[in-house]
Chain A
Amino acid sequence: MTKPQDNSRRNVLTQLSAVSLATLSPWALRAAVAQPKLTVGVIYVGPRDDYGYNQAQAQAAAEMRKIPGVSIIDEELVPETTAVQKSMTGMIVQDGAQLVFPTSFGYFDPHVLALAGKYPDVRFAHCGGMWTEGKHPKNVGSYFGYIDECQYLNGVIAGHMTKSKKLGFVAAKPIPQVLRNVNAFAMGARSVNPTITTTVIFTGEWSMPVKEAEAANSLANQGADVFTMHVDGPKVIVETVAKRGKMVCGYHASQATLAPDAFLTGAEWNWVTPYKAFIDAARAGKPHPNFLRGGLKEGYVKTSAYGPRVTDAAKKHADGIKAKMVAGTFGIFQGGLKDNTGKVVIPAGTVLEQTDPELERMNYLVEGVIGSV
């Protein structure tokens, strides 16, 4: 849709100055050309309305739609096969996309890397990939958030709310990203009461609702009364837990509407922040940001609003820690940390920043977690 021509004096002047700037550098030239309209493609691996991973991305994409001059085209349920290469190519050659957000982790290698070489003028912003200087092309960027901070806060709330002192965690795969969340949740709960245990069940799949429901039921049978999860679509777990009369902390997006009474709080992505950064850079013709990471402080993640059952003491405790996280004075994984076999995994005296690559290689479950990798 084109806007009616605006020939006011101010607009003409802006355009004139843009043209004169354009002579200065190729970046500025591209900016002057790109400014009128930026087409952005977004690709999801699952359905847009999964109450989870994909919905969190789609929510940010929907926000970006509101920016004048930015048009968003998106596609859901694109598998991590050549189909995603075709979808990306289609966005580029059929729709003229200059910036593409392939949002599933599995898209990165080989699909995003293959297309980045083929279309050096198109910017790719991938969720979660470990972009490495010198190894990966400059037109590829990656963004991710330290959502373990929110899982820690989930754990604090769960620690206050549990009666049985047993928590349940339904997780997809025992990979570093997931283990980090399991550990953060367990540590948050143990910060309230060190006798609390968190039992984790790995389903082995990012999205396998049947197994997720089985795992939630099994954990409930074992006495767990507060749950959280790390799977692509938490819907089934939240509903199962609510049906069993237990409580649940959400993940990825807000599931509050699915179980208003059982829902305590949740760890949510706030992808608006990185989306905006990538889009602003593309519109201004600035170099493509290659590595964007952030937590609560940077606005990459956020917590869901508290549910009606959360006590004031729990809220106060969690809000206190959250304030420290926002101020940047709270570290989750600190020296002296033991895994659930009693081995010290982070030597005493070591301080690990959230950005530490050591944390991206996590391969243990901390003390208080029942389960094995």
Chain B
Amino acid sequence: MRDSVADIALPIAALLAALLLFGLFVWLGGVSPLEVWRLLFIGAFGDWFSWQNTLQRAAPLMLTALCVALPARAGLIIIGGEGSVVLGGLAAAALPYAVGLPENLIGTALVCAAGMLAGALWIALAGALRQYRGVNETISSLLLAYTAIALFKHLVEGPLRDPSTLNKPSTRSLGEALRIGGIAGSDVHWGLVLGVLACAALGVWLLLTARGFSVRVVGGNPRAAQLVGLPANRIILLACALGGACAGLAGAVEVAAVHGNANSSLIAGYGYAGILVAFIARHNPLAIIPVAILFGGFGAAGSLLQRRLDLPDSSVQVLQGIAFVLILASEALREVDWRTVREKLMRPAGPQAPVATARERAV
């Protein structure tokens, strides 16, 4: 209970502190902090349009954050989700080249499944390299992302190119019936629902199922896991594949809901943004949902700040930077025993007292 209070209170306090600091920052630049705070709120959560804006931006981040969070729970730091996103998108767009798809929901599901499979294999490859060949998975997944992007471009600008796309090389477009539409007439597409469902399902899976528990055991201490007979390699590969599948799904949804085909606009950095989201969420799939929405909100608010106050795009990145440093730094406060601090503060001020306590501790 105590922990969950800290889990929620610390990041919120850090966020408020970040907003205060950012206010100071823009005030030094000659802009009214009150106006900035007002616009940040309006831009991110002010009305229905702002909410759609925020949620739309958050949707792919939920899935790409899972690509970092799941392997992390199994003890691997994977940062190459971008590779799974682009290959997932490519596989989704390429599937109709290979097989005829039914022009209905099943076809759409197959397109998404193709993206998930491609993404899963890519991250599982990084996991396998680490488990069977001892290659550092952080480096290999990052480099594999570059390989994936190169492969993507080669295929999109080569064999899979729709010859009618001249100055923006793209694959052939998916049929209208295979596309994913908006939710109930809004601009927010079903990718958001998939993202929320994936976060919730995987969160519950990690928390409540035996297999999910085994992932956490392997992540906590692989040696101990093996001693109790858990197949560590297989469990790690499973976590990697599930994470990769999520990122691949993000790519497939971008193709089916937004672009209609695979082209280089797909390489938009969603995979890298997902890394930040996952770390802020402390690799907890359920926490990814609000963090991704916060991230989407930053994007939406940044857009309005630029337009209304002529602030450069980097200003909202400054806010994002301050916020994340503070949220991560606030983790250090987690170990603080607040009762002792309070007692110390309440005690009549004696110059020797704090030093003595510090020494006691050191001994």
Interface positions of A (Cβ within 8 A of B)? 41, 47-48, 73-83, 85-87, 89-91, 93-95, 105-106, 108-110, 128, 130, 173, 175-177, 204, 360-361
Contacts and interface: CB of A to CB of B under 8 A. Distances in A.
B307 A86 contact: no
B307 A75 contact: yes
A80 B265 CA distance: 5
Interface centre among B52, B56, B263, B306 (most CB of A within 10 A): B306
B259 A110 contact: yes
Interface string B28-58: 0000000000000001000001001100110
B166 A175 contact: yes
Helix, strand, loop or mixed for chain B's interface? helix
Contacts of A361: 166
Given A81-B258, A89-B187, A75 B167 contact: no
Interface centre among B254, B258, B303, B313 (most CB of A within 10 A): B303
A75 B306 contact: yes
A143 to B, nearest CB: 15
Contact of A176 (B49, B167, B308): B167
A93 B53 CA distance: 12
B93 to A, nearest CB: 13
B300 interface: yes
Contacts of A78: 303
B265 A81 contact: yes
Contacts of A80: 265, 268
Interface of B: 43, 49, 52-53, 56-57, 153, 157, 166-169, 187, 254, 258-260, 263-265, 268-269, 299-300, 303-304, 306-308, 312-313
A364 to B, nearest CB: 14
Nearest to B49: A93
Nearest to A77: B313
9 contacts: A75-B306, A75-B313, A77-B313, A79-B269, A82-B57, A90-B43, A105-B167, A108-B168, A175-B168
Contacts of A90: 43, 49, 53, 300, 303-304, 307
A86 B153 contact: no
A78 B53 CA distance: 14
A48 B310 CA distance: 12
A181 B179 CA distance: 37
Contacts of A86: 52-53, 56-57, 187, 300, 303
A73 B307 contact: yes
Contacts of B268: 79-81, 83
A194 B29 CA distance: 56
B47 to A, nearest CB: 9
A115 B306 CA distance: 21
Contacts of A109: 168
A81 B49 contact: no
A110 B168 contact: no
A74 B306 contact: yes
A94 B56 contact: no
B80 to A, nearest CB: 18
B292 to A, nearest CB: 15
Contacts of A75: 303, 306-307, 313
Contacts of A82: 56-57, 187, 258
B153 to A, nearest CB: 6
A89 B166 CA distance: 27
Contacts of B300: 86, 90
B39 to A, nearest CB: 10
A76 B52 CA distance: 21
Contacts of B57: 82-83, 86
Given A81-B254, A86-B57, A41 B166 contact: no
B307 A74 contact: yes
A305 B154 CA distance: 39
A85 B306 CA distance: 16
Q: Residue among B53, B187, B307 with the most chain A CB within 10 A?
A: B307
Contacts of A74: 306-307
Nearest to A78: B303
Contact of B306 (A76, A128, A175, A204): A76
B172 to A, nearest CB: 13
Contacts of B169: 173, 175
Given A77-B313, A83-B57, A83-B299, A105 B168 contact: yes
Contact of B166 (A77, A91, A93, A360): A360
A105 B300 CA distance: 22
Given A81-B258, A81-B265, A95 B307 contact: yes
Nearest to B191: A82
B148 to A, nearest CB: 14
Contacts of A89: 49, 53, 187
A138 B344 CA distance: 72
B312 A76 contact: yes
B86 to A, nearest CB: 13
Nearest to B53: A86
Given A128-B167, A175-B167, A177-B167, A87 B258 contact: no
A48 B306 CA distance: 12
B307 A91 contact: yes
